[in-house]
Chains A and B, each alone.
Chain A
Amino acid sequence: MQQRAHDVAASVTDPEMPMLTLEDLGVLRGVEVTDEKVTVTITPTYSGCPAMATMRDDLVHRLQDDGFGDVEVRVSLSPAWSTDWITPRGRRALTDHGLSAPGPAPSHAGPVPLSLLPRRRALTCPRCGSAEVELTSEFGPTACKALYRCAACLEPFEHVKEI
């Protein structure tokens, strides 16, 4: 039961990036089965991520479709979600679908240093592989993405930004 509930929950995909499962995204933090009741724990990616509601609904529906009548989705705010939690399989799936996967999340002891120059990332274009890319904006179509442009193939692409 435990394994089956976990497998079902782990197969639910992110509504914004459907090539990623919630497990690959690192949002799925736990699946517990006690007395026929399934408790799923998830951690929000961004404080205001509007996809959280859909993730919850999808988890409940998929588990109910699989015969689990009583499903509760709980939120775990701590530790905070980090892009470091995206699995290697998730990173491959992002690249396979034309998205640039995040590098290591920034870490610092003490105050967050101010950065007045655009953040430098060693990226390659997910379409043509060129390293000649330029940042268009740190803010993209969803909270988790930055916008880039490839100087070689001239295509724009999205980068899942490190947090």
Chain B
Amino acid sequence: MVEQVDHESVYDGLLGGDDSQWAFGTDFEDPLAGVDTTLPEGVDGHDLATYCLMLADDALVMSHRLSQWCSKAPDLEEDIALANVALDLLGQTRLLLARAAAADPSVVPALPEGSPVPPEDALAFFRGDREFLNVRLVEAENGDFGRTMARLLVFATWRLALFERLASSRDRVLSAVAVKGVKEMTYHRDYAARWFLTLAQGTDESRRRVVDGLTAIWSLHHELFVTTDVEQSVADAGVGVAPHQVADEVDVLLEQVFSLSGVERPTVSPLAGVRGRTGRHGLHTEALSKLLAEMQVVARAHPTGTW
């Protein structure tokens, strides 16, 4: 029997006949429904999944940090802008996590039987900090608006350069995510670059803050261009990008912004890892543990909950 649904209310029809389900989130259908997720020939599923987790975790953690500005930005326009950037990154995250799960289902954490949590949510909410593979740049605290803009400039410039190359990936899902991401992140990069310039050329106070912000995040900048074994492997297989390849291009772009802003490139030593292991290997700063604790607490408390 077809259930009668009242289309006048947006909530009817979502209930699925069970009105004990009072909380509604976004749609939990497979974001890759109907998309061909067959592995390209000669590609290792686990390596591809691990690489997708790296790209997804960068976006997820950065998205969470940006969303922390919601209701706290200097003015309404920046509040909306930062939430928009966060949303774009969250969209990339969802597709990339779903791609990781399809490439190698063994990367998805096991949940109690009967849990309705889809694979991309299991990956976002049920992995510990040691299993997150993001670069440490994205997990650092936001600081003030100046520091946030300095970080977003570095992050968006780097990720845009990576995605421009990823657009020609042999993996059709990664290629599609990258083509789309380039269009979106062009807005992110230019937004951050304009604010960087504006703050640097503004008052003594705004200049001091953006320069301090850049200096504060600069020790995490070097890590962006270190190519791990997995990244080299997927790059060799024609599905990924080795990040050291974008170092020169990112350098030139950042130099354009710095020189127009009259800001010297900071001289700060890279933040050390532990025996060479850093964010991409699951070794993080304390900031990530706190961020995940807040982000994951509700989902972890209700692993069989329906949202």
Q: Let me know if A163 and B94 touch, CB within 8 A.
A: no
Q: Let me know if A78 and B172 touch, CB within 8 A.
A: yes
Within the complex, which residue of A49, A53, A106 is in contact with B29, where a contact is CB–CB below 8 Å?
A53
Q: Chain A residues near B142 (CB, 8 Å)?
A: none
Q: Let me know if A75 and B26 touch, CB within 8 A.
A: no
Within the complex, which residue of B34, B81, B190 is in contact with A76, where a contact is CB–CB below 8 Å?
B34
Q: Chain A residues near B184 (CB, 8 Å)?
A: 46-47, 163
Q: Chain B residues near A64 (CB, 8 Å)?
A: 2
CB-CB contacts below 8 Å: A33-49 with B: 41, 44, 46-49
Complex Cα distance, B249 from A72, in Å, reads: 43
Say yes or no: is A152 at the interface (Cβ < 8 Å to chain B).
no
Within the complex, which residue of B26, B34, B77, B186 is in contact with A147, where a contact is CB–CB below 8 Å?
B77
When C-beta atoms are compared, the residue in chain A nearest to B3 turns out to be A64
Say yes or no: is A52 at the interface (Cβ < 8 Å to chain B).
yes
Say yes or no: is A74 at the interface (Cβ < 8 Å to chain B).
yes
The size bracket of the interface on B is 35 or more
Q: Let me know if B160 and A138 touch, CB within 8 A.
A: no
Q: Let me know if B193 and A114 touch, CB within 8 A.
A: yes
Complex Cα distance, B191 from A115, in Å, reads: 9
Q: Chain A residues near B80 (CB, 8 Å)?
A: 137, 139-141, 147
Q: Let me know if A56 and B27 touch, CB within 8 A.
A: yes
Say yes or no: is A61 at the interface (Cβ < 8 Å to chain B).
yes
With A80-B180, A111-B249, A116-B257 known to touch, is A75 a contact of B34 (CB < 8 Å)? yes
Shortest CB distance B68–A (Å)? 17
Q: Let me know if A116 and B197 touch, CB within 8 A.
A: yes
| Chain B 165-201 interface mask (CB, 8 Å, partner A; 1/0) | 0000000110111011111101101110110010000
Q: Let me know if B34 and A56 touch, CB within 8 A.
A: no
Q: Let me know if A61 and B34 touch, CB within 8 A.
A: no
Within the complex, which residue of B7, B95, B173 is in contact with A47, where a contact is CB–CB below 8 Å?
B95
The size bracket of the interface on A is 35 or more
Say yes or no: is B31 at the interface (Cβ < 8 Å to chain A).
yes
With A56-B29, A75-B34, A139-B80 known to touch, is A112 a contact of B5 (CB < 8 Å)? no
Q: Let me know if B26 and A53 touch, CB within 8 A.
A: yes
Say yes or no: is A13 at the interface (Cβ < 8 Å to chain B).
no
Number of A-B contacts (CB under 8 A): 129
Say yes or no: is A77 at the interface (Cβ < 8 Å to chain B).
yes
Within the complex, which residue of A41, A47, A119 is in contact with B180, where a contact is CB–CB below 8 Å?
A47
Complex Cα distance, B84 from A50, in Å, reads: 11
Say yes or no: is B121 at the interface (Cβ < 8 Å to chain A).
no
Q: Let me know if B256 and A75 touch, CB within 8 A.
A: no
Shortest CB distance A47–B (Å)? 3
CB-CB contacts below 8 Å: B156-170 with A: 160-161, 164
Q: Let me know if B34 and A74 touch, CB within 8 A.
A: yes
Complex Cα distance, B86 from A50, in Å, reads: 13
Q: Chain A residues near B249 (CB, 8 Å)?
A: 111
Q: Let me know if A48 and B87 touch, CB within 8 A.
A: yes
Shortest CB distance A106–B (Å)? 8
Shortest CB distance B115–A (Å)? 20
Q: Chain B residues near A52 (CB, 8 Å)?
A: 27
Q: Let me know if B176 and A139 touch, CB within 8 A.
A: no
Q: Chain A residues near B212 (CB, 8 Å)?
A: none
Residues of B at the A interface (CB closer than 8 Å) are 2, 5, 7, 10, 13-14, 26-27, 29, 31-35, 77-78, 80-81, 83-85, 87-92, 94-95, 160-161, 164, 172-173, 175-177, 179-184, 186-187, 189-191, 193-194, 197, 249, 253, 256-257, 260
Pick 12 A–B contacts, CB within 8 A, sort by A: A41-B34, A47-B95, A47-B180, A61-B5, A69-B2, A77-B32, A77-B95, A78-B176, A118-B194, A139-B84, A147-B77, A163-B183
